[in-house]
Amino acid sequence: MNWVRRVLHPILSRHLGASLAGCLFLLLILCPAISEALPAAQTHPLPPRLAQWHDRANRGDYFERVEKTTPGYLVWSEFPVKVYVDGGREEARSQVWDDAVRQAVDEWSAYLPLQTVTQAQQADIAIVRAAPPLKFPPTQRVRSAETRFELYTKGSPAILYHRCSIFIQPSQADIYLVAAARHELGHALGIWGHSPVETDALYFSQVRDPLPISERDVNTLKRVYQQPTRLGWKVSKK
């Protein structure tokens, strides 16, 4: 690994009835001395399940709200995407968390090939049963989950890749655990932004009655995967 860059995407939740204005994007550059040049952005072939997806009702999307990161759009190009779900605890509450996260993985698997793995080191996306680790100044806003990504190079010639870590606070009501996992996994799969419509899984705030992945969510995901990205392409030396 020649260089690493990490991005934190805190997702802020709220108690019912409280207000939430948005979320915070924070960039941490861990290794500022980058010895390689980023690849030119190119498009990858659409994954088959997204290629076959058609919203006949034409419900639209929120692609304009998806943030373009330093490497471009966060597109996975090697499938299945390997997902690690933190486990190993025997408490009943831990099983509830595990079931909620695995439900979210199953839901997104309808649109992108996902495979659960037993070792975090094998994973492209690791979902951790813990509160987000960073502490921010006290406010009325409470963070229930957070998605991070980091960039790395691998192989010869070196290819630019990314991996994601998701932290989900376990002390939430069951229905909100599923919603948080669904929401965060949407970010990790490429929707690096939020919807302004509360019926979408990637809505910027918690809702009283969370809904499943919407057509607009999938439309947005498909548009993301139609965009050029530097991820998955050969890195050239400066």
For residue range 159-184, list pLDDT tens digits in order. 999 999 999 999 889 899 999 999 99
Q: State residue 89's pLDDT score.
A: 65
| Structure confidence at residue 22 as a pLDDT band (50, 70, 90) | very low
For 52, counting Cβ atoms within 10 Å of its Cβ (0-12 exposed, 13-18 middle, 19+ buried), the class is exposed
Q: State residue 135's pLDDT score.
A: 59
Q: Residue 113: is the preceding peptide bond cis (ω within 30°)?
A: no
| CATH code that applies to domain 5-237 | 3.40.390.10
For 17, counting Cβ atoms within 10 Å of its Cβ (0-12 exposed, 13-18 middle, 19+ buried), the class is exposed
Q: Which residues, listed in sequence order, are joined to residue 153 by a DSSP beta bridge?
A: 160
For 40-84, the pLDDT digits (tens) are 999 999 999 999 999 999 999 999 999 999 999 999 999 999 999
For 126-155, the pLDDT digits (tens) are 999 998 876 556 554 567 899 999 999 999
The domain segmentation of the chain, as residue ranges, is 5-237
Q: How far is CA 122 from CA 25, 83, 117, 164, 176, in A?
A: 27, 8, 7, 12, 28
Euclidean distance between the first and the last CA atom of the chain, given in angstroms as a whole number:
16
For 99-115, the pLDDT digits (tens) are 999 999 999 999 999 99
The pLDDT of residue 233 is above 70:
yes
Task: Tell me the angle at which helices 174-188 and 92-108 cross, rounded to the nearest 10 degrees.
Answer: 40
The pLDDT of residue 98 is above 60:
yes
Q: State residue 236's pLDDT score.
A: 80
**25 or 156, which is more confident:** 156
Contact by Cβ (8 Å): 124, 82? yes
Q: State residue 11's pLDDT score.
A: 35
Q: Which residues contact 169 (CB under 8 A, 6 or more apart)?
A: 130, 131, 132, 143, 144, 145, 180
Model pTM? 0.84
**H-type alpha helices, 143-214:** 174-188
For 196-232, the pLDDT digits (tens) are 999 999 999 989 999 999 999 999 999 999 999 999 9
Q: How far apart are CA 215 and CA 54, in angstroms?
A: 9
The pLDDT of residue 34 is above 80:
no
